[in-house]
Structure 1
Amino acid sequence: MDLVPTPVGKAGITWYPAHGPTRAVALLGHGMATGVEAADLQALAADLPRHGISVALVTQPYRMSRTRSGSDEASLDAVWQALWPIAADLGVPVISGGRSAGSQVACRTAEQLGAHAVLALAYPLLGPGSPEELLATGRPTLVLQGTRDPFGRPDQFPALPPEIELIEIPNANHTFDTRGSVPRSTTMDRITRATSQWIEQQLTRA
């Protein structure tokens, strides 16, 4: 893990380099309840490099220090802005994203930072996120949402513009746990396959 100074403390970046030439970078953040060890983030970190996508999993400073200080929206966004040049300086498209609170950070900062696209895993639509925050990304956006997510089921989302695609993950809750109704490996495969195909589309269009 690389330690990087930010305005609110040191953040961590764990890199999973692309296999072969790097076609893009996926800069992904964690949620409030879990860190980068979350199953969906780890599945993407294992899969996307096979498609030429380097993955950078970001651990926010508040989690590095194991405190709640620096977990407010302004601090989270400031960290993302501080880390962004590290990914952007690689000279390839940057997909900004994350799970839950991490997806909110990506949505709020995408237009300002010039993200190529936004990946939102388990977006907390019913709070602390909002439809307005999601709709304001200004970039092509993929939302992967469990059909049992208490923070917003797919059928609770508003009508979405063409640039925002919503994919349902059957029987999954906010952490994409299906309580055994669907094998964990099947759920993770759905997530990685949908994400890699969508990123491929964004890179092709570019």
Structure 2
Amino acid sequence: MTRVLVVEDDPQLVRALKINLQARKFDVEQATNGTAALRLAAADKPDVIILDLGLPDMDGIDVIKGVRGWSRVPILVLSARHTSEDKIRALDAGADDYVTKPFSMDELLARLRAATRRQEGPDRPDEVVIVTTEDFSVDLAAKKVRRGERTVRLTPTEWHLLEILVTHPGHLVSQRKLLLEVWGPTYAENTNYLRVYMAQLRRKLEPDPSSPRYLVTEAGMGYRFEP
């Protein structure tokens, strides 16, 4: 049974979430503030976290950063903050998805399912564990990237993008597929997200980011990993 930690201080919303999640066989635990959320996340290790940013004791961004210090558990932000800046701050801090209030329960559940699928990782042969190029290596099992002797630190969003690409070597992965897999259906047309994060990946991995050797753009279509 998938265990969900709901971090929200609105009792009516928590009740609605519990009813809908438990009806779909999720095991639900609740925290009404950031301190309790960090404690429960560390003690109980939920499979996914639904997080409000407007908590009574701390900003939800600080909760994301706290969890990301030790865990890659999927974090789905559920917030009344609508601006692009708020969304980018949450995603850069390590959130996996962002849903604004008011929201459709069906959409939230779809995003939740997508987040748990991403955590399980894309289907791939068991023997494909490490992808190696001349300049860097990707350990899919450990979720680590190295350049020579140095570990390259990726955000969860950067990792999701890279993981999808390197598990489809030589194949074009469409912009839409990447957006749906990494950000969800609401962001299916936000190609600017891809440009920003692909530029960040290239700066970290490519010997010449302005002329990428491994993370190649297919103009207007998508991206390709060339090992």
TM surpasses 0.5 = no
Comparing both chains, which one has the higher relative contact order based on Cα–Cα distances under 8 Å and sequence gaps of 6 or more? 1
TM-score (norm 2): 0.31
TM-score (norm 1): 0.33
The structure with the larger Rg is: 2
Instruction: Kindly indicate which of the two structures has a greater share of residues assigned to helix.
Output: 2
